Each structure stands twice: as structure tokens, then as C-alpha cells.
Amino acid sequence: DAGVIQSPRHEVTEMGQEVTLRCKPISGHNSLFWYRQTMMRGLELLIYFNNNVPIDDSGMPEDRFSAKMPNASFSTLKIQPSEPRDSAVYFCASSLYGTAYSGNTIYFGEGSWLTVV
């Protein structure tokens, strides 16, 4: 079975450029999560969707960040303009019925490693 697929795996970009990270969740999963991982702050939830609808975006750091989920099999996280402090690993994850129903397992992608110089 294909897991959560993220692209690109690695991205190096210059400050001020737009960055788009992509995610394909596991087929049949109806919840999707975007996390950011840094040494300083650990794993942070940025936003999550249920049935393509954003449920909680309180973790999105600022207006430079936006996320969309146009259909059940695709999501994007966009940073515009990017800054050096955005350098991190960004993980997409998916699950059935969100996190609260029977403690459903969240499946993570392998991450997108972003470096902004």
C-alpha cells in the first residue's frame, strides 16, 4: 500500500521566493495534517483538514503560510514569501476520521526538508 506521499523531499530556495509543498494522503483517509519540525520547537501542528475542510489552522505561524485541500487526494502548503526562519522539515500526515475517533493512527509522510537561504 502506498503511504503518504510528499514532494519535494528536499528544497533549497532563496529568501523571498514562494515555496509550495505537496501531499497525497493515503487513499480513503479523510483527515490530513501538516506539521513542522525544528530542533528548537519540536513537532508543531500547523493545520488539519477533515473531509477537505480546514478545521484548525491555529498553528499556522503567520499570513505568509497558507494551505489548501482542493480534493480528498491532494493538499498543498504554501509559503510566500519564504524566510530563513522557515527552514524546517514539513510533514504531511493522514488518518481516518481525525484524531479523536478511537485514537486512529496518524500516518506520516517522509517529510519535505526546506532550507531557505
Partner 1 sequence: AQSVTQLGSHVSVSEGALVLLRCNYSSSVPPYLFWYVQYPNQGLQLLLKYTTGATLVKGINGFEAEFKKSETSFHLTKPSAHMSDAAEYFCAVILNRDDKIIFGKGTRLHILP
Residues from 69 through 108 that contact partner 1 (CB under 8 A): 91, 93, 98-100, 102-103, 105-108
Least CB distance to partner 1 at residue 104 (A): 9
Helix (H, G, I), strand (E, B) or coil at 24: strand
Residue closer to partner 1 by CB (options 47, 83) is 47
| CA proximity to 41, closest of 95, 76, 87, 80 | 87
Q: Exactly one of 42, 53, 70, 71 binds partner 1 (CB under 8 A); which one?
A: 42
> CA 117 from chain center: how many Å?
21
Helix (H, G, I), strand (E, B) or coil at 57: coil
Which residues are at the interface with partner 1 (CB under 8 A)? 4, 42-43, 45, 48, 56, 91, 93, 98-100, 102-103, 105-111
